[in-house]
Structure 1
Amino acid sequence: MRIISGTYKGKRIIAPKNLPIRPTKDMAKEALFNILTNKFDFQETKILDLFSGSGNITYEFISRGSTEITAVDSHYACVKFIQQTTTNTFNTPIDTIKSDVFAFLAHTNEKFDIIFADPPYDFSLDKFTEIADLCIENKLLNLNGILIIEHDTHTDLSVHNCFAESRKYGGTVFSFFKNI
C-alpha cells in the first residue's frame, strides 16, 4: 500500500500477509481524499476509522496532518499493526481500539468530523444500514460532519434517510451521509 499525498507521499507500507484485509485501491483513495480536502482542514478534524484493517485510510489522514484519529478493528493483529506503524513509521500515536465496530458505535460518547467505515463487502444491506443508523442516532457526527461507507457496486445505500450522495470509482463506491 502507498501513501497518495501529504507529508509521506509515496511512502510504501507493507502489511503482514496474514491480516484479513482488503485495502482501498489507490485510485478510489485518491478520489476520496480529493473530495475531503475541499471540505475539511485535516489538522483540525477528528477522525474515526472503522474496520480499519491495515490502517490504509488512517495513514492518509496522518500524512495530511490529522492527529486526532481513532482506528477501530476487531482483529488483534490489525490493531497491533496500526499501533506499530503509526508510532514507528509516522511517529504519530493514535487511539487504536480492538472492538467489534457495532459495540463500539453503540457505546462511545465521542463526536467526530469524519467517520470512515470500510466493512467487508459481503455484509448484508442491514449491516451497512446499521452502521449509518448507529452513527446518526447516537449523534456521533459533529455539526457538518460526514459518514462515509465504502462498499461495492452491488450495494445501494441511497434509501437511508441521511444519505447525501455516492461516488463510484471502479468497483468501489463511497456513500456519504450527513446529520438530518
Structure 2
Amino acid sequence: MRIISGKYKGRRITPPGNLPVRPTTDMSKEALFNILNNYFNFSELRILDLFAGTGNISYEFASRGAEPVVAVDGDFGCVSFIKKTAKEFDFDITPIKSDVFKFLEKNKASYDIIFADPPYGMEQKDFERIIQLVFENELLEEDGMMIIEHSKHTKLEHMENFSFSRNYGGSVFSFFEFEGNEEDIDEEAEDDEFES
C-alpha cells in the first residue's frame, strides 16, 4: 500500500503478511479522500480510526497533517505494526489495542472524523451499533463526519444521521453527519464512482 498525498506522498508501506486484515484499496482510498477534501482542511483534525488494521487510513490522515490520530484495533500484531510505522514516519498516531465496542462505550474524547472499517462479514446489528455508540456518546464533533466502509450487502441508509454513500467496486462508504450539517458535494465527487 502507498500514501497517496501529503508530506509522504508516494511512500510505500509493506505490512507483515500474517496480519488478519483486508486493507482499503488505493483506488477506494483515493476516492474517499477526494470526497473528504470537499469538506475539510486536514491540518490538526482529530481523527479516530476504528478497526484500524494495518493503519492504512491513519497514515493517510497523518500525512495530510491531521493530528492527533487514534487508531483502535483488537489485534496485537496490527497495533504493534502501527506503532512501529508511526515512529518511523514521526506521525502523531496513538495505537490502542482494544475491542472497538468497549472503546466506544468508555471513550470520552470527541473527534472531527471517525472512520470505521469493520470486517465485511460482521453482522448488520453490529454495524448499526457502531453508529449508535458514536452518536449516543457524543464522540463526533458537531460539524464532523463519520465514515463506515462496508460491503454492498450491508445496508446503513436507514440509520439516523445517514448523509450519503458512495460505491467503489465491491466496497461502499457510508457517510454520517449530524442532521442539518449535510451539504451537497460537488458534481465531480458525486460522479466519482468506480466499478470493478
Give the TM-score of the pair, scaled to structure 1.
0.97
Find the aligned partners of 2:93 and 2:110 in 1 and give their Cα distance: 16
Q: Give the corresponding residue for 2:53.
A: 53
How many pairs are equivalent?
A: 179
- Paired residue type of 1:175: S
CA-CA distance at 1:93 after TM superposition = 3.8
TM-fit CA distance, 1:154: 1.0
Shift of 1:92: 1.8
1:100: how far off? 0.1
Q: Are the counterparts in 1 of residues 63 and 91 from structure 2 also a CA contact under 8 Å?
A: no
C-alpha displacement at 1:38, in angstroms? 1.7
Match of 2:134 in 1: 135
Tell me if the contact between 1:43 and 1:64 (Cα under 8 Å) persists in the aligned partners: yes
Q: CA deviation at 1:61?
A: 0.6
| Equivalent residue number for residue 156 of structure 1 | 155
> Which residue of the partner structure matches residue 170 of structure 1?
169
- Secondary structure of the structure 2 residue equivalent to 1:179: coil
The amino acid across from 1:129 in the alignment is E
Gaps in structure 2 of 5+ consecutive residues = 180-196
Secondary structure of the corresponding residue to residue 44 of structure 1: coil
Q: CA deviation at 1:39?
A: 0.8
- 1:83/1:19 Cα in 2 relative to 1: closer, same or farther (>3 Å)? same
Unpaired runs of at least 5, structure 1: none
Letter in 2 for 1:33: F
Aligned 8 A contact 2:51 2:100 in 1: yes
Aligned to 1:144: 143
Given residue 159 of structure 1, which amino acid in structure 2 is its aligned partner? Answer: H
Query: Does structure 2 conserve the Cα–Cα contact (< 8 Å) formed by 1:83 and 1:93?
Result: no
Deviation, structure 1 residue 44: 2.5
Q: What is the alpha-carbon distance in structure 1 between the residues aligned to residue 44 and residue 83 of structure 2?
A: 22
Q: CA deviation at 1:10?
A: 1.1
Secondary structure, aligned partner of 2:43: helix
Instruction: Measure the CA separation in 2 of the matches of 1:92 and 1:24.
Output: 20
Conserved in 2, the CA contact under 8 Å of 1:82 and 1:96? yes
In 1, Cα distance between the equivalents of 2:74 and 2:47? 18
Q: Cα RMSD over matched residues? A: 0.9
User: How far off is 1:96 after superposition?
Assistant: 1.1
Q: Which runs of 4+ in 1 moved over 2 A?
A: none
Deviates more, 1:47-56 or 1:158-167: 158-167
